[in-house]
Amino acid sequence: MAGKGSSGTSAQPTRRAARTDAAPAARRADAIRNVVLVGPAGSGKTTLVETLLVSAGVLSRAGTTTEGTTVTDFDEAEHRQQRSVGLALAPLMHGDTKLNLLDAPGYADFVGELRAGLRAADCAMFVIAANEGVDEPTRTLWRECADVGMPRAVVVTKLDHARADCDGVVAQARVAFGDKVVPVYLREGDRLVGLLTDDHEHDEQRAALIEAVIEESEDESLMERYYGGEEIDHDLLVRDLEHAVARGSFHPVVPVDSSSGVGAQELLDLVVAGFPSPLEHPLPSAYTPAGASAPPLTCDPGGPLLAEVVKTTSDPYVGRVSLVRVFSGTVRPDMTVHVSGHFSSFFGDGSGHPDHDEDERIGALSTPLGKVQRPAESVIAGDVCAIAKLSRAETGDTLSDKDEPLVLRPWTMPEPLLPLAIEARAKADEDRLSQGLQRLAAEDPTLRIDHNAETHQIVLWCMGEAHADVVIDRLGSRYGAAVDQVELKVPLRETFAGPSKGHGRHVKQSGGHGQYAVCDIEVEPLPQGTGFEFVDKVVGGAVPRQFIPSVEKGIRQQMAKGVTAGYPVEDIRVTLLDGKAHSVDSSDMAFQTAGQLALRDAASAARMCLLEPVDEVAVLVPDDLVGTVMGDLSSRRGHVLGSEPAGAERTLVRAEVPQVEISRYAVDLRASCHGAASFTRRFVRYEAMPENVAARHRSHD
């Protein structure tokens, strides 16, 4: 399966862009359609974009994904992985209407790019390959659209494949997605037949379509009139179909053969006539910098500016480029805008980036055709554009009027769950690595970077192996930072399994003032999560009062460094019982050292216990795979807490599992459940590690 879609096209491997020098300009919001292409990897999305660009005259010939010549698969990582990894824009004109085609990746690792596309669009082409059918990843993507109320039509591709079964795929889609998935065109040889026309060769299919449309009509008498034998006006049916599509309650099906172009014009006609314009799609919620709800805005080019960065890329020659959806107002080159980060405290869900709030002068304004930037004089509300040199704007940030700043509620981003430890390959790579990670984090909200203070590792939290591959590749190719993957260290702890006593003696004489400090301590384990307690039971001034805090400080320092396996010590009570001092040679530093020695001595005489972090894992899984998931969690030393129905033949399984057992769970779960399951995780506590497992970790340094 190649690129963002199929490479099954009869086009030549090279193609010439016919209209890359002139960007289509939108003058009215009602003459814009923002369409995101959604579908599993290999379904034919990128090839469909090529077909539509050729049909609209933007290209003279279609490119191919295998040759790396398509408009929207232009990233080096896409050529290497042979699939889409990022959202890409390809505008075209159909009649007087501008269509912004947003080609979104279908692979699960890049669902963040898909959600950005759903935010930028007002409707979707849901692409299913005629030779593949409806599988679990396809159902997952349909839910992504449904969760945000995205209107969508179904486009069946790869009609020329040897195993193509268009009717069978439509039947599967109706079972999976409901009986409002209904064909509006049928393919007959080298042409499509419209079922809403007066062509009565397909009376049964035409009747099914008309009944489905009438059921969605706001005219309650229409069904009665239809069953009474009245001929329903064609324009009325089209209007009702358009309204039903815009509401997201009706999903017309159109077959398109990318090898011949059959169906491309009909699909473009449907988008213009049946898909909602930006005027019909609700705007995201906006807030003032004080956190109050902003007055309602409309998609008005003359209104206050409100736009959002849906994608950020860094170009070595151009710098940072922001792909922006304009919701209200008009954007012009060199204007000053207010850039607002996600003020997560407003929303109470921890979403968004660290707060930033500043004015910036935008650079060049353009309309991208894939990687080609075509200058634009202005971009109105409802349109999508690229803005250069917004140096602080990150993916998800809001652009608004500098005198009336606003911030949009962020869209939901998935949590990255695959940790990967990296280190700079050489000293010269360290500075470039820091800069590269900072820029990648600004571009990609699904990438989380953790500089772990305990393990001293740089940990990249990614969506999966393909996502990790792209991140590491970009660190090297874009930012010149060569890195190596290293074994991930899980931050363990150690504690005392029973009481013990320790003696710390630090005595040195080397001429002049020496060092002298002696202390005796007792160590007792405390309940998990208690922390550290220090108790002073010195009598008679054996340890002068001014040095007692020094003993505690030294013990704390040794606890942080560990005493046997190199892991931090926690949940103990240390009692200072006795000691000795010298009137001249005792010092703060000497008693700190004595405290460290005493704790190490106590540990050498005690049985130490390793503690491991435990996460609560919640796995959403199809009902028929519950047993598989529970068995796998148990094999990872997990304790299954229970399960509960989650609707749509799905079950939520909850378990507590040690972190050391689930570092690659994101990869393993996808493989064992064929992409049908997802999970979340959260830390709950530390608990004792079984001795047979602990033995493998005691060599930690």
Q: Is it the case that residue 14 has pLDDT exceeding 50?
A: no
Cα dihedral 373→379→385→386 (10° resolution) = 60
Q: What pLDDT is recorded for position 699?
A: 55
Nearest 5 degrees, angle CA 492-CA 495-CA 501?
A: 150
More confident residue, 461 or 190: 461
Which residues does residue 645 pair with via DSSP β-bridges, in sequence order? 651
Which 3 state secondary structure label does DSSP give 523? Answer: strand
To the nearest whole percent, how much of the chain has pLDDT over 70? Answer: 93
Which part of the chain has CATH 3.30.230.10? 493-606
What pLDDT digit, counting tens, does each position of 168-212 carry? 999 999 999 999 999 999 888 788 888 877 556 788 888 888 888
* Contact assessment for residue 299 and residue 327, using Cβ atoms and an 8 Å cutoff: yes
Q: What pLDDT is recorded for position 22?
A: 58
Q: What pLDDT is recorded for position 499?
A: 96
What pLDDT digit, counting tens, does each position of 284-321 carry? 989 988 888 888 899 999 999 999 999 998 866 777 89
Q: What pLDDT is recorded for position 5?
A: 40
- What's the CATH architecture for 29-200+253-280? 3-Layer(aba) Sandwich (3.40)
Nearest 5 degrees, angle CA 311-CA 112-CA 182?
A: 105
* Contact assessment for residue 361 and residue 349, using Cβ atoms and an 8 Å cutoff: no
Classify domain 493-606 at the CATH topology level: Ribosomal Protein S5; domain 2 (3.30.230)
Q: Is it the case that residue 144 has pLDDT exceeding 50?
A: yes
Choose among 582, 583, 564, 572: nearest CA to 698.
564
Q: Is it the case that residue 346 has pLDDT exceeding 80?
A: no
Choose among 687, 630, 632: nearest CA to 658.
687
Which part of the chain has CATH 2.40.30.10? 286-408
Which part of the chain has CATH 3.40.50.300? 29-200+253-280
Sort strands 372-375 and 365-369 into parallel, antiparallel or unpaired.
Answer: antiparallel
- The CATH code of domain 418-470 reads 3.30.70.870
Q: What pLDDT is recorded for position 402?
A: 92
Q: What pLDDT is recorded for position 199?
A: 58
Q: What is the mean pLDDT of residues 103-108?
A: 94
d(CA 234, CA 297): 35
Q: How confident is the model at residue 484 (pLDDT cuts 50, 70, 90)?
A: very high
Q: Is it the case that residue 592 has pLDDT exceeding 90?
A: yes
Q: How confident is the model at residue 21 (pLDDT cuts 50, 70, 90)?
A: low
Which part of the chain has CATH 3.30.70.240? 610-694
What pLDDT digit, counting tens, does each position of 520-572 carry? 999 999 998 899 999 999 999 999 999 999 999 999 999 999 998 889 999 99
Q: What pLDDT is recorded for position 3?
A: 36
The DSSP code sequence of 389-444 is --SS--TT-EEEETTB--EEPPPP-PPP-EEEEEEESSHHHHHHHHHHHHHHHHH-
- What's the distance, Cα to Cα, between the start and end of the chain in Å? 45
What pLDDT digit, counting tens, does each position of 491-506 carry? 999 999 999 999 999 9
d(CA 221, CA 368): 47
Which residues does residue 375 pair with via DSSP β-bridges, in sequence order? 366
Q: What is the mean pLDDT of residues 670-679?
A: 93
Average pLDDT, the chain: 89
Q: What pLDDT is recorded for position 512?
A: 66
Which residues does residue 519 pair with via DSSP β-bridges, in sequence order? 504, 579
Sort strands 372-375 and 384-388 into parallel, antiparallel or unpaired.
Answer: unpaired
DSSP secondary structure code for residue 687 in this structure: E
Q: SS in 3 state form for 529-576? A: CCCEEEEECCCCCCCCHHHHHHHHHHHHHHHHHCCCCCCCECCEEEEE
Q: What pLDDT is recorded for position 181?
A: 95
Q: What is the mean pLDDT of residues 23-49?
A: 91
d(CA 276, CA 272): 8
Q: What pLDDT is recorded for position 210?
A: 86
The DSSP code sequence of 70-114 is -SS--SHHHHHHTB--S-EEEEEEETTEEEEEEE---SGGGHHHH
Question: Which CATH superfamily groups domain 286-408?
Answer: Translation factors (2.40.30.10)
Q: What pLDDT is recorded for position 389?
A: 85
Q: Is it the case that residue 575 has pLDDT exceeding 80?
A: yes
Which part of the chain has CATH 3.30.70.870? 418-470
Q: What pLDDT is recorded for position 219?
A: 77
More confident residue, 259 or 17: 259
Cα distances from 121 to residues 41, 48, 324, 418, 481, in angstroms, run 20, 17, 11, 29, 35
Who contacts 564 (Cβ-Cβ below 8 Å, separation ≥6)? 494, 603, 604, 608, 698
- Position 670, amino acid: R
Backbone angles phi, psi at 85, to 5 degrees: -125, -10
Classify domain 610-694 at the CATH topology level: Alpha-Beta Plaits (3.30.70)
